[in-house]
Structure 1
Amino acid sequence: MALLMQALALPAHADAPTPIPMQQLMELARGGAAALPADVRIEIEPGQLDARLKLAPCRRIEPYLPTGSTAWGRTRVGLRCTDGPVNWNVFLPVTVRVWSPAVVNVGPLQAGAEIRAEDLQIREVDIASAAAPVFRDPQLLVGRLLAATLPPGTPLRPQHLRVRQWFAAGETVTLVYVGEGFSASTEAQALSNGLDGQAVRVRTPSGKIVTGWPAGERRVEVRS
């Protein structure tokens, strides 16, 4: 994790600038972004407070995330003075950049195009530029269809892909029960289309209705 070594200063009395606790801001950013890969590096770019603010000098400033804010992209952090002549509280705009290897497209891709391996490469990008996750494995994208036209160098995210349909309603599927140390399978009839990431109901030969998850071509899994 790259640390910002230079201490910036909040607007305060001209002879007593108040330093921003950058190390604590970095820890706040990493703790506020769930499940970050180990190979990311975080950068924080502080914005500017209202120039009309005149803050008293402070020996201890505690940063915190306000309710409803996240340490991701353009956001804000709270800064409160807990050791000074006046205990003040302000909100500082910041930009959190999270640099990580991710899959991007080499050249422009048209909506409806099927993604090929040669269309993709791994590049370090700011994954915090949008809320949706990125892909880190190109093989997860090969053969998928695009839902939108993408300019070169776009980090691919789930919303860029058409929802994959593994089977249609009425088709015969393999229903697989998966548990710790065992698996069993039977045939069943799909009662709705099998779309990636969406639960689907199937009917077994005995007439029982079971809910599972599409997991491949004409395959539904039920995990216990």
Structure 2
Amino acid sequence: MFNKYSNSTQPVHATWGLVLALFFTSGACTSANAQVNEGKPEFIEATQRWLDNAVSSVRPAGGNPLRMEVTVGELDSRLRLAPCARVEPYIPVGTRLWGKTRLGLRCLEGSTRWNVFLPVTIRAFGAAWLIKGNVASGTVLTEADAMESEVDWAEESSPIVALPSQWVGQVASRALTTGQALRQAMIKPAQVFQAGAQVRVVAQGAGFQITSDGQALSAGVVGQPARVRMDNGRVMSGVVLDNRTVKLEI
């Protein structure tokens, strides 16, 4: 994701916002000559068509297009909107068109200018990994813990973790249950050694590499920084590569 395939689902959300921004600023407006209480206004049906067209080309970074579904809700039945010759949709500030959200509609040409919000649900179906059985918090995940299936990526705000390389070997950050789709908020890197452990320190620079021994002064998590006391007493910081190696950049 939406960050679909992550590394991050951000490209999906960015693409979606850009598509809509370009679409809605290219003159995609319609007329409305009916009040809300007289049945569904013409601009509601037009808005559905606009959204369907806008999301049809959304593609997660590095993956296949998601199967998008847009459901337009109803305006508050208590509203009484004056006739309007031109209604313009817009994305409210701070709103992300993903999952249950809203779209702004404003009258640009009418006897009375008005501005309303329309509830919208955006669904984005694509391949993901579902937990096959209950997994306790702190468990290191293996390929046997999940199976591939199609899910709604937009059902929750946390991005989907779409590739096995992104979650195999990671630790469940909370208890997981059967049928849950794996998302970034559900996993974290595994701790591979504790403070006090003996580790190998690799110092690498331009054209050389030096290996030495040291003692970890902090817990080691793959890909995260850790502090190490060298044999000469000097304290260094580096990045954890595996269960006994810390890499220093010189």
TM-score (norm 2): 0.65
Which residue identity lines up with residue 36 of structure 2 in the other structure? A
Matched, 1:17 2:42: yes
Q: RMSD between aligned alpha carbons? A: 4.0
Decide which structure has greater helix share.
Answer: 2
Identical columns (%) = 35
**How far does the alpha carbon of each residue in 1:142-165 deviate from its partner, in whole angstroms, 9 at most, with x for none?**
455545443322101244346510
Match of 1:169 in 2: 195
Give the structure, 1 or 2, with the largest relative contact order (CA under 8 Å, sep 6 or more): 2
CA 213–34 in structure 1, closer or farther in 2 if over 3 Å, else same: farther
Match of 1:111 in 2: 136
> Any stretches of 5+ residues in structure 1 without a counterpart?
1-8
Which residue identity lines up with residue 82 of structure 2 in the other structure? A
What is the total number of aligned residue pairs between the two structures? Answer: 215
CA 49–217 in structure 1, closer or farther in 2 if over 3 Å, else same: same
> Any stretches of 5+ residues in structure 2 without a counterpart?
1-31
Q: Is the 8 A contact 2:57 2:65 kept in 1?
A: no
Match of 1:129 in 2: 155
- Once residues 118 and 167 of structure 1 are traced to their aligned partners in structure 2, the CA distance between those partners, rounded to angstroms, is 24
CA 198–71 in structure 1, closer or farther in 2 if over 3 Å, else same: farther
Which residue identity lines up with residue 160 of structure 1 in the other structure? M
Matched, 1:94 2:125: no
Runs of 4+ in 1 over 6 A off after TM superposition: 27-34
Picking from 54, 60, 63, the partner of 2:80 is 54
TM-score (norm 1): 0.71
- Once residues 169 and 67 of structure 2 are traced to their aligned partners in structure 1, the CA distance between those partners, rounded to angstroms, is 31
Which residue identity lines up with residue 82 of structure 1 in the other structure? L
Q: Is the 8 A contact 1:201 1:211 kept in 2?
A: yes
